Structure 1
Amino acid sequence: MKLARFLISREGFISVICYTVTAVFSFLSFSPINLPFFIWVAPFGLFVIEKRNRGQWKKLIYHGFGFAILFYLVSFHWIYHMTTVFGGFEWYLAVPIFMGSAILLNFKFPVYLLLFSFLATRVRRFFPLIASFAILFAEFFTPQVFPWYFGNVVAENQILAQNAEYLSAYGLSAFLFFVSYFLFYLRKPKQVFGLVRSFLPKHKTITQKVLIGSVSFVLVLVAFFGNGYYLFQKWENVKPIAERDILIIQPNAPLEFRDGRNPAEEIRNLMTRIDRMVETELKDNPADLVVLPESGVPFFTTHDSEVTRAIRIYWHQFESLMAIISLRHGTNLFYNELDADIPADKQSSRIIRNDIRTYNSSVLMNANGERRNSYQKVFLLIFGEYMPFEWMYALSGQTGQFAAGTKLDLIPYYERRKTQTTVKKDLHWEDTFSMSPSSVREHYKGNQIEVKKIGSFLPLICYEVIISEFVRKFQGDPDFIVNVTNDKWYGNSVESYQHHTLGRLRSIEFRKWMVRSTNSGTSVFTDHLGRNIDNEFTPIESTATIRKKVSVIPGEMTFYRLYGNLLSYLFMGIVGIVFLIYVKRNP
């Protein structure tokens, strides 16, 4: 009842308007709508609420969660879809899960309001700097399942985005709130006229406050736009040391079969589709690498072991088709699969199911049809690949129980076959019914070439790409980044575009191209400047192919790869000390 009375009151109406301004304007700035002007005024809702409730800590907490819930409803409404489809929860469980995640995983809003208000009541000036400091602190030190930052939206500006090489999305968030608070201060015509008049010759001498504020604002703008322009010019003129022809296959594989479809028939159709899509693209025009997405062929593995046979995930026809594709076209093939093993300390003569660990894995097969290096996903997706509590698995039959990988190794890839095939008859999916993987390799024995490594790439599965601190832990110098994902769980929503927007900055942080391969859209190539090549995205919920020549940018350890968030930590430390000194001198 208290909530209802609040919502129909004048204060409640103004509060909801503020929540809506921040949520809707952020959403309009976000991909795929991309109206970047709105992001500069999106924080106004937060500024108004803080100013109206300054020092009222309990109210600020409530308002913070109000922002969190409405922001989720507007920008991340697809999480509900994920909970019902990916997690398999009924709506009466999905709704509280959605609301709970909106609150528990968006502490950034109440933390921001509390910290801003605390500093405002004690420092009582430097408000743009306080706003910048508070959002940086809130984004750093609050938990999130899908790490998103206001800076990711700022990066839609191509020049400003280049600053991510030093600051990642965090620094761009701080820049946004610094600039936005200046605009918020000038929201009334009287304040704008007052600022202009203070600089006119006939007016009284400019006050120190106006001078410091104006100069600071100009210096920050010059620093970010100037550095962004310099970095843009620098990296645009870098000549690649090689080019790799890469083909993405988007097969639109099924997720599950609760709608009554015949699983065997659907999988056969999928394998036929993948086979034909690859042949159509590569029959007369070979490529260096073919990339299949996460769950491009669901439920199975090509890793033939005692464990995978025991739990019936190894499928010889899957391995045969992967070998056919790589051998037929003499190319590297990177695909996703399940994998399984047993910890060394639990191995015995008898396989016990409870000891088996299952992985979300991606593996490379070379031009000789040989299964080479694989990568097991490290960061697992809550409600899809694991549950936070054991008892929750009983609520959802759809959620997997995956183990996290432990290695952060690059995936080597090899020289493709450059000679014509020597076989008289090429094999296809239909041949896998009668031919084993070894028979397939024997059939293409004449196509065998010398295995020669020509480079390596950085593999990322699903939302690992949006975690900057994690991605920089990979060692070595990759030629490019490959992100395979399955966004089909989220339906025909904006999630796939948002997912890419959040991960796109890894291209700038590494100064490497990114190959994004999705099961049902949207797939895209992004260069080392964060530009989507030809602005070409594959359509959602459809089969498609997309092919580009990926430039291999000369290896260079960028500032962010070397030092991570050092500059952001220095900013928070220095500003915190300055605030402390100022408060002590001006009690």
Structure 2
Amino acid sequence: MSKNLSSFLLSISGALLLWLAWPTSPLTLLIFIAWVPLLLLANKNIKNSKFILLSLLHMMLWNVLTTWWLINSTMIGGISAFIVNSILMTIPWTLYFIIQKRSSFIVSSISFIVLWLSFEFLHSNWDLSWPWLTLGNAFSMQTGWIQWYEYTGVSGGSLWILLSNLFVFSIIKNHQENGRNQKYFIQIICWMALLFIPITISKFIKFDAPILHNKYNVVVVQPNINPYTTKFDASTQDDQIKKLVALSEKNIDENTALVIWPETALPFYVDENDVKNNPKTFPIWDMLQKYPQVNLVSGVEGVRYFDHKNSVYAKQIQGSNEYYESYNSASLWNKDSVTFYHKSKLVPGVEVLPSIVRFMAPVFEKFGGTTGGYARDTKARVFHSNNNHFTVAPAVCYESVYGDFMTQFLKQDANIIAIITNDGWWGNTEGHKQHMSYAKLRAIESRKWVARSANTGTSCFINPYGKVVQQLDWDKEGALKQQVQAFSQQSFYTQHGDIISRIMAYASIIVITYFFYLLYINKKKNARK
């Protein structure tokens, strides 16, 4: 086999292994060896430019195979996501490739772990964030393996995966150089211990926290309204509200404390300062007067008006001196009032134009993208029900993929996570299935119940062990009711956040300094020749 063909096969085989291991595939075990081909490629005597191109191919193939469904929502946005994410993912691998050629296996391995975990942390905390392919998400189909996420979050899973792949790479390398010597068998035993010890620990972890109450139930509603053909058709808006109310009332009883509707359940703009006077909301107020013990969490297309441009998101009303901001909001309604939280983690290029590319606003506008987009909240806001039964951590759509971000709500003594989403944009693909699967990780990290209301599915209840106890499948209309315990104790992860990633972010300063030191030494050596 030619050298070029061998390198090409290593590049694509690693991407295929990642795809096969990713949720909702049952082949999760493959994640423990999925990056061995790319590590073997990095160990080859090839030029920097060739490795960069092959690792970029690897990342592109992984992104496309795993998240191809993004193009169902927006073709340009999906393709842009594939390209940008692939380039960004290639950067830590390129740094590792250069470091490992000039350093020992231990130093280069530690550097790789630090660089990749730092990248995942960055990619969850900037304007172009996209944590969908964070390695630790791969275990959402095997929650019995990772009950220790209540201490580490998904970064603990990412670390586990990286260590496993580096161990297997070391075993193969040692076998190639020395055959089946004693070190080879010791390494295999150590690798098996690395796999099975965390799983064993997970089996022995028991969750035991004080319960505020175990009496009240929660209802999640799935109206199943097509977002492309019906949802935003003005002629259907009144009927949509009537459907949501009817589905809710069928399930409400004297112990119902909370009803949850999906993202943008109210498919019209609601002036957040004048909700009660909007005739389209009258059926909601009527329902809450009829059932005064019930609080409603619902998605809302919110808007507020100003007499000045109060933010970069504010847009001027044509022919007027007034401005307005629009929001993808979550809201809490009771019989007397309504409060709002504005989605903070906005989809780049779809819901907001990242600040680093805001100068390209005219180009995005020309191709149908957003130029101003939604405004956002600058801090986490929990919902306190007026019946004192639940304190709700709202997660609007893909905010639920951000574990560290969700701790900001949970630190405010939230005792239930309410995920509201409209996954219908992606169609019946792995997109909505992966999104639901990731919600199980939030339950484990927080040790709180998750109630998930999805417009077209999958709506569900997830217990604090990450087990789905009820679900309403894709393309079904209906509602679910579940008795939900409110736990008062905060998990270690809720209290302290993503410690692993923060340590790695600081350590990356040392690694990057070391990288430039190696380049400097190499430059001096070349100058002497």
Range into which the TM-score falls when normalised by the shorter chain: 0.7 to 0.9
State the number of aligned residues.
496
The answer as to 2:290 corresponding to 1:322 is: no
Taking the aligned partners of 1:100 and 1:287, their CA distance within structure 2 comes to 44
Q: Percent identity?
A: 21
- In structure 2, what is the equivalent of residue 158 of structure 1? 143
Q: Is residue 363–residue 372 contact of structure 1 (8 Å, CA) maintained in 2?
A: yes
Taking the aligned partners of 2:484 and 2:177, their CA distance within structure 1 comes to 49
Q: Name the amino acid aligned to 1:357.
A: E
Q: 1:494 to 1:555 in 2, by over 3 A?
A: same
The answer as to 2:113 corresponding to 1:132 is: yes
Q: What per-residue deviation string (whole Å, max 9, x for no partner) do you get for residues 378-423 of structure 1? A: 12222332334421223217888311123422101133xxxxxxxx
Taking the aligned partners of 2:95 and 2:513, their CA distance within structure 1 comes to 14
Q: Is residue 151–residue 171 contact of structure 1 (8 Å, CA) maintained in 2?
A: yes
Taking the aligned partners of 1:562 and 1:280, their CA distance within structure 2 comes to 38
Q: 1:382 to 1:575 in 2, by over 3 A?
A: closer
> Which shows bigger deviation, 458-467 or 36-45?
36-45
Q: CA deviation at 1:489?
A: 1.0
Report 1:162-561 matches (<5 A): 162-186=147-171, 194-195=179-180, 198=182, 217=191, 220-221=194-195, 224-225=198-199, 227-230=201-204, 232-233=205-206, 235=207, 237-238=208-209, 240-243=211-214, 244-257=216-229, 263-282=233-252, 287-301=256-270, 303=272, 305=274, 316-330=278-292, 331-343=294-306, 352=320, 355-366=323-334, 369-388=335-354, 389-391=360-362, 392-396=364-368, 401-415=373-387, 453-474=388-409, 475-533=411-469, 536-556=470-490, 558-561=491-494
Report 1:22-33 matches (<5 A): 22-33=14-25
SS of equivalent residue, structure 2 residue 211: coil
Q: What per-residue deviation string (whole Å, max 9, x for no partner) do you get for residues 446-502 of structure 1? A: xxxxxxx33311111111111233222234111111111111111111111212333
Q: CA deviation at 1:541?
A: 3.0
Taking the aligned partners of 1:547 and 1:68, their CA distance within structure 2 comes to 42
Q: Name the amino acid aligned to 1:39.
A: I
Question: RMSD value over aligned CA atoms?
Answer: 3.7
Taking the aligned partners of 2:122 and 2:370, their CA distance within structure 1 comes to 32
Taking the aligned partners of 1:299 and 1:502, their CA distance within structure 2 comes to 29
Q: Is residue 359–residue 376 contact of structure 1 (8 Å, CA) maintained in 2?
A: yes
Q: Is residue 468–residue 506 contact of structure 1 (8 Å, CA) maintained in 2?
A: yes
Q: 1:217 to 1:579 in 2, by over 3 A?
A: farther
Q: 1:117 to 1:338 in 2, by over 3 A?
A: same
Q: Is residue 129–residue 178 contact of structure 1 (8 Å, CA) maintained in 2?
A: no
Q: CA deviation at 1:353?
A: 6.6
SS of equivalent residue, structure 2 residue 375: coil
Q: 1:238 to 1:470 in 2, by over 3 A?
A: closer
- In structure 1, what is the equivalent of residue 50 of structure 2? 59
Q: Name the amino acid aligned to 2:119.
A: A
Q: 1:554 to 1:36 in 2, by over 3 A?
A: same
- Alignment partner of 1:570 out of 490, 498, 503: 503
Q: Name the amino acid aligned to 1:405.
A: D
Taking the aligned partners of 2:25 and 2:396, their CA distance within structure 1 comes to 25
Q: CA deviation at 1:210?
A: 7.5
The answer as to 2:82 corresponding to 1:116 is: no
Q: CA deviation at 1:21?
A: 2.9
Q: Name the amino acid aligned to 1:274.
A: L
Q: CA deviation at 1:43?
A: 1.4
SS of equivalent residue, structure 1 residue 23: helix
Q: Is residue 359–residue 405 contact of structure 1 (8 Å, CA) maintained in 2?
A: no
Q: Name the amino acid aligned to 1:327.
A: Q
Taking the aligned partners of 2:94 and 2:85, their CA distance within structure 1 comes to 17
Q: Is residue 413–residue 488 contact of structure 2 (8 Å, CA) maintained in 1?
A: no
The answer as to 2:47 corresponding to 1:79 is: no
Taking the aligned partners of 2:369 and 2:104, their CA distance within structure 1 comes to 54
Q: 1:470 to 1:111 in 2, by over 3 A?
A: same
Q: Name the amino acid aligned to 2:325.
A: R
Taking the aligned partners of 1:501 and 1:290, their CA distance within structure 2 comes to 22
Q: Is residue 266–residue 301 contact of structure 2 (8 Å, CA) maintained in 1?
A: no
Q: CA deviation at 1:334?
A: 1.3
Q: Is residue 111–residue 511 contact of structure 2 (8 Å, CA) maintained in 1?
A: no
SS of equivalent residue, structure 1 residue 106: helix
Q: Name the amino acid aligned to 2:466.
A: G
Unaligned runs of 5+ in 2: 311-315, 355-359, 523-529
Q: What per-residue deviation string (whole Å, max 9, x for no partner) do you get for residues 109-140 of structure 1? A: 31232232233223232365555344323323
